[in-house]
């Protein structure tokens, strides 16, 4: 019987070609200007985007610009209108199903006259406000907040994200749920509450409290810097932590049972300043 001879069979290599998808043309920025004559007010609401609001010098208009970055304009709805000197602007992401991958969120940039009443709300994204003066109300669900060089009455509610408030003059109400908080300014009144995260608060030289002020922290260390000339009735309490007060204090009470409590007067006393923490150390230092 003749032996079978096996010959190798040559299989042609299959060429795999990766087709590079040509990047879609970026959508043009959306932008609009709203002329104003008196002191304007702005209601700003954005979802899944970062927002930047700042003064534009002596301009007499509010300018709003949306840069889409990696996103498609068709994924969003813009609702906007003007009534007198009030402008309302809302950027809302449309509901969609499936997997969505994006590296950069849209950027909303707003330029306004220096004097402005502002109400800004963000659902998911960073918020920056600087260089304006007036009544400022901010609300963020998820994202860092930065406020600087602002004067007037500032109110802030933040759910998740760090807070940095710098060089603010006037009054401050701040409530945050999760994230570190750093605040400095020349204040006449403060109401600050943080649920989870460290808190640093500096009352700059020239601060004079004219309304009762309160600082609360549920979980995290608290460090407060005060001018040596500040006059206040100080009430400090921590449930689990120690108190380090580095300013001269005329004591009116001390209790270490069930926590630590110190009450006393700074510079003969004045407006009440209450500092309470549930879990964390408290440090009061001089500027």
pLDDT more than 90, % of the chain = 64
The residue ranking higher by pLDDT, 197 or 152, is 152
Indicate the pLDDT class of residue 101, thresholds 50, 70 and 90.
low
Under a CB-based contact definition with an 8 Å cutoff, are residues 157 and 137 in contact?
Answer: no
* Residue 9 reports pLDDT greater than 80: no
DSSP conformation letters of 76-142: EEEEEEEETTEEEEEEEEPP--S----S---EEEEEE-SB-EEEEEESSS-EEEES-EEEEEEEESS
- Compute the average pLDDT of residues 258-274: 88
Which of 35-39, 209-213, 239-243 has the lowest average pLDDT?
A: 239-243
- Compute the average pLDDT of residues 240-262: 78
Taking only the tens place, the pLDDT of each residue in 130-185 is: 999 999 999 998 889 999 999 999 999 998 888 999 999 999 999 998 888 999 99
Please say whether the dihedral angle defined by the alpha carbons of residues 21, 22, 23 and 26, taken in this order, is positive or negative.
negative
Q: Which residues contact 202 (CB under 8 A, 6 or more apart)?
A: 183, 184, 185, 224, 225, 287
The residues spanned by each domain of the chain are 30-95+104-131, 162-287
């Amino acid at each position: 019987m003749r032996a079978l001879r096996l010959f190798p069979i040559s299989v042609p290599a299959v060429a795999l070609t990766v087709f590079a998808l040509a990047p879609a043309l970026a959508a043009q920025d959306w932008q609009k200007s709203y002329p104003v004559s008196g002191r304007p007010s702005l209601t700003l609401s954005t979802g899944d985007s970062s927002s930047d609001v700042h003064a534009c010098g002596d301009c007499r208009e509010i300018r709003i610009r949306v840069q889409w970055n990696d996103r498609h304009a068709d994924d969003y709805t813009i609702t906007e209108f003007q009534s007198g000197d009030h402008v309302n602007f809302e950027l809302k992401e449309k509901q969609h199903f499936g997997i969505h991958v994006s590296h950069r969120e849209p950027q909303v940039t707003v330029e306004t006259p220096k004097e402005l009443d502002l109400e800004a709300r963000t659902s998911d994204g960073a918020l920056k406000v600087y260089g304006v003066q007036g009544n400022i109300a901010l609300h963020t669900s998820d994202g860092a907040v930065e406020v600087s060089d602002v004067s007037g009455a500032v109110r802030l509610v933040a759910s998740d994200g760090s807070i940095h408030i710098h060089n603010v003059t006037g009054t401050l109400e701040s409530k945050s749920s999760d994230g570190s908080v750093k605040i400095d300014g020349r204040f006449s009144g403060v109401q600050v509450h943080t649920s989870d995260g460290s808190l640093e608060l500096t009352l700059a030289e020239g601060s004079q409290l004219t309304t009762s002020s309160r600082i609360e922290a549920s979980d995290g260390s608290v460090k407060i810097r005060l001018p040596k000339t500040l006059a206040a009735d100080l009430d400090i309490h921590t449930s689990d932590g120690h108190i380090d007060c580095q300013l001269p204090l005329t004591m009116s009470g001390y209790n270490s049972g069930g926590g630590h409590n110190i009450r006393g007067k700074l510079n003969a006393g004045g407006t009440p300043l209450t500092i309470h923490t549930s879990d964390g150390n408290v440090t009061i230092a001089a500027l």
